[in-house]
Amino acid sequence: MIKEWEVVIPSLGGDKKRKVYVYLPVEYNSDSEVRYPVMYMFDGHNLFFDDKASFGKSWGLKDYLDNTKTPLIIASVECNREGNGRLSEYSPIDFIFKNGEKIKGRGGEYLNWLVKEFKPYIDKTFNTLSDREHTAIGGSSMGGLMTLYALAKYNAYFSRGAALSPSLWVYGKIPDFVEKSRFGKNTILYTDYGSKEFKNHSAQRKIFSKTCARLTEKGVLITSRVVPDGVHSEASWEKSIPFFMNVLGFKPYK
C-alpha cells in the first residue's frame, strides 16, 4: 500500500507543495503492535509508479516489496522539479553545473528538515522502529550522493544506506565529508556504479574506487559493485534492489 499526501518545505520551497509517498508492507496493520524499520529515500516520484516517474519508468519498488513481503516501510518525498532545484537540494556543496550555472548546495538544509520534521512525523503516524539501528536512507545519482552525505553527517539517525550511482563528480575527488567524518559503529553501506556510466564524467571510475576504499578505511561496512552494462536509469537501478536490500539486512518475509 502506498499512502500519498502533499507537504511543503518552507525553508526550501516556500509554499510550493510536493508529494509524499509512503510504502507500507503487505501485512501492515495500524492496530497491531508490530513495528517496522524505515528507509528514507530521495526522488519519491520515481520509486513506485511509472506514470509518476520523470522519464516514464520507475524503480518498481512497490512490486518488489509486495512480491517478497519485505517487512519495511519506505518514506520518500518528491524532489524539487523547478529548474535546477533538485540539484540544489540534493547537493551538500556549491558547484558549477555543465551549462556553467552556479548551483547553491542546500543538501544540509534538506536533511535538517528530513530528520527534524519529516522523520518525527513518520514515526508518530506509522508503526515504526525509530532508532538508528532500524533507520536507513537511500537514493540514486544526486540522491546517491546525499545518501553518502547523510551517513557521514547524520550518522546519529541513519545506520545504513544504499547509494546507487552517486554523483561524486560534483566533488571531483573523495568528498570532504567522507574525509572529515567519524562513522558510528556498524554503519552499513551498499553502493554501486554502472559499467557504462563511467564515461559520463571524467575520472569517475577513479573517484568511485578511491571513495569506496576510504570508506573502508573509515570502518564503514561497505559492499560496492560495478554493475555489468549498468546505465544511469531507473530501469538499471531497479535491478539492484535485491542486492541492496540484502546488504542492508531487509530480507524477504519467510
Write the pLDDT tens digit of every residue in 225-246.
999 999 999 999 999 999 999 9
pLDDT for 64-119, tens place per residue? 999 999 999 999 999 888 888 899 999 999 998 887 889 999 999 999 999 999 99
Statement: residue 253 has pLDDT above 80: no
In whole angstroms, give the CA distance from residue 93 to residue 103: 8
In whole angstroms, give the CA distance from residue 42 to residue 202: 25
pLDDT for 30-70, tens place per residue? 899 999 999 999 999 999 998 888 888 999 999 999 999 99
Sequence letter at residue 160: R
176-194: average pLDDT: 95
pTM of the entire predicted model: 0.96
In whole angstroms, give the CA distance from residue 20 to residue 45: 8
Statement: residue 145 has pLDDT above 70: yes
* Better pLDDT: 216 or 81: 216
Statement: residue 254 has pLDDT above 70: no
